Structure 1
Amino acid sequence: MDKPNKRSSHFVATPSLGGIAFFIVFVISLSFNNYYDHFHVSMSILPGLTVLFFMGLKDDLMVLSPKAKLLGQVLACSFVLLNSQFVIHNFHGFLGIYELPFWLGILISLIVMLGIINSFNLIDGIDGLAGSIAIIIFIFFAVVFKTIDLKFMFLSAISMIGILIGFLWFNLSKYKKIFMGDTGSLQVGFIIAFMTMRLMAADESALNQLPFDSSCKPLVLLGLLIVPIYDAARVFIMRILKGKSPFSANRDHFHHLLIDAFKLSHRRASFLIAGFNVFFLGIILFILQEFSIYAVIFLILCLLILMTFYCLKLEKQINRKQEGSNLPRSKKERINPSVFNLTSENGV
């Protein structure tokens, strides 16, 4: 049970092991998808997924240190990167970059996977947010993998959509609520990470049917993953600038700022952020059709800067409210002691 504390958004102890169902259902789905697994992908996925499952389970029961989590994630990613189908070998001309040295491709792939896993783990802070963002991401992957005829990856994405829809039914419930916990968020982040790597490592010839050029893959994937990546990067940088550990826990995530500043419900905040994710991805795909890749980069930088200033404004607004609530009441608001000038004669 996840017991509420001073930074929690829930008020009663809630089951936090929804990720157990994720693991069971996804492993069963792999047995049905095995017919289309021509590159032994499942044997690359299962060891890493199992490592993260047990690590997340232990973290939900007994809190693990950030170092232990990172080591477990590196081990899980290593199993995937042993398969050449998941290693970035070529940027296909993105910013003038083509073929990569083997060691650099491995390093970049590992950093990207770790970044996605941890960023997705961090956005699992309010009801519905992680699940709805993940559904959007897996819908995108399902469409793309179906288009380029990677049936195993397509069916895996469809399986995750079904798992998350089933989870959201309970996660958004008032009386049957359950959290995915680290057990679930680490697994979902891991599956998103290896699907990202599979798309990045796909042959250029296989991408001809997509509505964007193969050199634009990094930007499209950034637009797809903008919510978890931006939130994690902003929170880590702001904590470091404030002299705190980047792994310290507080209510400085974007979803917390929206809830605290505007008193939004979890559902409204989650669907608002999910809607922004879809809008951001749509804008990037549209501009890629009409303008150059540099126009997209300029747009992304402008939006990220605006979002950063907006978050700073929300933080100041919340801090002013908190400071105002801690100030002593004015003389007019203070209770006049003479009102309570009662004696035993009045029966007190």
Structure 2
Amino acid sequence: MDVEVLGPFLVPLSSALAAFGFLPLARRAGFVDHPNARKQHGMPVPLIGGVVVFVGLIMAGLTTGLWRGEGWGWFLAAAVVLTAIGTLDDIFDLSARWRFLWQGITVALACAASGVYIETLGALFGGGAVMLAGLAGLGFTVLCALACINAYNMIDGIDGQAGGVTLLTLAGVAILSAAAGHNGTGLFAALACLALLTYLMFNLEIPLLRGWKMFLGDGGSTLLGFLVLWLVVAGSQRDGSFPPIVAVWLVGVPILDMLAVFARRLLRGRSPFSADRTHIHHLLLDRGLHPRQALIMVMAMHGAMVAFGVAGTLAGWSELTLTLGTFVAAAFYFSLSFLLGRPRLPVAERL
């Protein structure tokens, strides 16, 4: 039997076995996230979600044969290092400066060695393609990687959110890659969705998994951010499965939320990296939504962006149309974010 046929079975199985194996070990070792003023879970939760997803990704690469060529080995090596950096941050609370430095070096080496980096931004304005030569393209890719990695870290604020938005992004990549005939990338993205679904069942504690809750941790969210970055760059640059501007639609809410939060903090004279409760999920929760309702709202917004990018690509819309659409989506998101962030007036004043 072809090993690719077993992929849809082996990937979730390997992730589930990793979950059942590592979760008790994490509890005994104290590798858990403790509740505090900004974290509202009731008891310590193991931070092994990234390991569960990573094991599934390794199996996905084995069953598709991607680890043997096309630069995917460099992705795997960089993913190991980046996940380790995130895990060390979970344990020792690394400074942002050192974390960004080692993330940037790792991404730069992997992209330079594999040739998977941004060389063109496409015909953003309807004319000729905007090209990025050599080091400019590599430097821009590293900048995008740091933004993506940390955006997915920041969006990991309520159960199911980081994994859910990544799931939607990978589904979009899988559809576009398969439609363009790049079945290897498409199958890998689809199998990665199964690894994420396995993690989400534990994270959201479906009825059969009560008491087996886990979080991604910084190691896991770092892995997801890099996975998304690699797939959208490979899909838009090396494979040509979709125009580069579509990557913005596929990444969607995590990037827009990060930019909105940074803007709000800077306008208040604070560091963009200072901690607060101004992410979209915090704003929705502060408006009285239940965490599951907030999750559905964020997933709906992100899903709409992914669907627009996929539909526009398959329908053959111009890159100019897709570019202009990103400004409309950003304006809508920023307006919604700032409106939700406005202080609520007392009932008497509203009357």
SS at match of 1:91: strand
* Larger mean Cα displacement after TM superposition, 43-52 or 17-26: 17-26
Q: Which residue of 1 aligns with 2:27?
A: none
Alpha-carbon offset, residue 293 of structure 1 = 4.2
Q: CA deviation at 1:301?
A: 2.2
Aligned equivalent of 1:244 = 270
**Quick check: 2:51–2:220 contact (8 Å CA) kept in 1?**
yes
* Matching residue of 1:257: 283
- Name which of 172, 176, 188 aligns with 1:144: 176
Of 50, 70, 82 in structure 1, the residue corresponding to residue 80 of structure 2 is 50
Q: Determine the C-alpha separation between the residues in 1 that align with 2:234 and 2:247.
A: 12
Partner of 1:4: 35
Q: TM-score, length-normalised on structure 2?
A: 0.80
Alpha-carbon offset, residue 231 of structure 1: 0.5
Give the match for residue 211 of structure 1.
none
What is the CA-CA distance between 1:117 and the residue it aligns to? 1.1
Residue 70 of structure 1: which of 65, 82, 100 is its match?
A: 100
**Conserved 8 A contact 2:49-2:215:** yes
The structural deviation recorded for 1:294 is: 4.0
Partner of 2:166: 134
Q: Deviation of residue 136 (structure 1)?
A: 0.5
Pairwise mapping of residues 185-334 of structure 1 onto structure 2 (< 5 A)? 185-202=221-238, 207=241, 217-261=243-287, 263-284=288-309, 289=315, 292-317=318-343, 320=345
Which residue does 2:24 correspond to in 1? none
Q: 2:97 and 2:58 mapped to 1: Cα distance?
A: 27
1:8 partner letter = K
Once the two structures are superposed, the pairs formed by residues 152-163 of structure 1 within 5 Å of their partners are 152-163=184-195
Larger deviation: 295-304 or 192-201? 295-304
In structure 1, distance between residues paired with 2:308 and 2:110? 32
Give the distance between the partners of 1:299 and 1:148, measured in 2 at CA: 23
1:80 counterpart letter in structure 2? A
Question: Alpha-carbon deviations, 1:179-220, whole Å to 9, x = none?
Answer: 11111110111111111110121355xx4xxxxxx5xx2332
CA RMSD of the aligned region, Å? 2.4
The answer on whether the counterparts of 1:36 and 1:152 sit within 8 Å (CA) in structure 2 is no
1:81 to 2:111 alignment: yes
1:185 is matched by which residue type in structure 2? S
Instruction: Quickly say closer, same or farther: Cα 1:83–1:13, change in 2 above 3 A.
Output: same
User: How many equivalent pairs are there?
Assistant: 309
1:172–1:267 CA contact under 8 A, matched in 2? no
Identity of aligned residues (%): 27
Matched, 1:101 2:133: yes
* C-alpha distance in structure 2 between counterparts of 1:198 and 1:168, whole Å: 26
Contact 2:120 2:244 in 1 (8 A): no
2:187 partner letter: L
TM-score between both structures, scaled by the size of structure 1: 0.80
Structure 1 residue runs of 4 or more that deviate by more than 6 Å after TM superposition: none
C-alpha spacing 1:269/1:295, structure 2 compared with 1 (3 Å): same
CA distance in 2, matches of 1:151, 1:302: 32
Gaps of 5+ in 2: 1-31
Q: Which has the larger radius of gyration?
A: 1
Further displaced range: 30-39 or 114-123: 30-39
| Structure 1: gaps (5+ residues) | 208-213, 325-348
CA gap of 1:47–1:89, structure 2 versus 1, over 3 A, is same
